[in-house]
Amino acid sequence: MKTERQLRLDMVAVCQVLYDKNLTIATDGNVSIRLPRGRILATPSGVSKGFIKPTDLIITDLKGKKISGGPGKPTSELRLHLAVYEERPDVFAVIHAHPPVATALTIAGFPLADGVIPEVIATLGSIPTSDYATPASEQGPLVIKKLIHDHNAVILDRHGAVTCGNDVWDALRRMEKVEHAALINFYARQLGKVKTLPVAEVRKLMDRHNEFFRPGCTKRRRKG
């Protein structure tokens, strides 16, 4: 197991990647890691992810109450993260970012849940879109909780995406894949009609997903 210092360094590195890849801008987005003894390490509110430091990170309990850390407050979206941890005991990291293409598709009314890209189905399964919820409100945990139980990536209507994983790098890879899938979907729509895969092929890919990446099956996902 990594030390808390190593986890802080991992989180800062992941925040930098999110910022550099335009998955978050300004002070948008938030990241968290589940720590031992019922604690959560989370990014603070109002700090750019591209300039965050290990000492800025905040530790809270599972109710969101600050225990220690930098001078700031925990991210305003912490309730979203806590809902994921409550629903998924196998999850140890959560990322909420604002990938622009994935977000734009929700505004235009185009879902990412259709069976289009083989490698996305095999590794992420379907990518559902939640109902709309006011950002940082009590609605947020409610609209995601019913979806995150069976998915490792969820698009939030008009509000980015949430991914989770065995660690913060796992969650990052899934966020990158969500935006990459959205970009391919966007390009395809500019070129013409989007063709979905045959049902039999989707089932075959979903079987692979369920074997290695199915939510709640941490040991098998790590093999993938």
CB of 141 within 8 A of CB of 83? Answer: yes
pLDDT at 209: 87
Inform me whether the pLDDT recorded for 142 exceeds 90: yes
- The CATH number of the domain holding residue 76 is 3.40.225.10
pTM to 2 decimal places? 0.92
User: CA-CA distance, 23 to 177, in Å (whole number)?
Assistant: 11
User: CA-CA distance, 107 to 73, in Å (whole number)?
Assistant: 30
Structural domain for 130, as ranges: 4-223
pLDDT tens digits, residue range 18-54?
A: 999 999 999 999 999 999 999 999 999 999 999 999 9
| Residue given tokens 């603070």 in the structure block | 44
| Overall average pLDDT of the 201-224 stretch | 69
Question: Over the chain, what is the mean pLDDT?
Answer: 92
pLDDT at 115: 87
| Residue given tokens 């030390």 in the structure block | 3
Query: What percentage of the chain exceeds 90 in pLDDT?
Result: 84
Inform me whether the pLDDT recorded for 222 exceeds 50: no
pLDDT tens digits, residue range 113-128?
A: 888 999 999 999 889 9
What DSSP designation does 209 have? Answer: H
pLDDT at 149: 92
The confidence band for 107, taking pLDDT boundaries of 50, 70 and 90, is very high
pLDDT at 214: 67
pLDDT at 176: 98
Number of domains making up the chain: 1
The confidence band for 216, taking pLDDT boundaries of 50, 70 and 90, is low
Inform me whether the pLDDT recorded for 218 exceeds 60: no
pLDDT at 1: 83
| Overall average pLDDT of the 70-83 stretch | 94
| Overall average pLDDT of the 117-141 stretch | 93
Q: How far is CA 189 from CA 40, 75, 177, 186, in A?
A: 40, 35, 18, 5
CB of 63 within 8 A of CB of 43? Answer: no
Query: What percentage of the chain exceeds 70 in pLDDT?
Result: 96
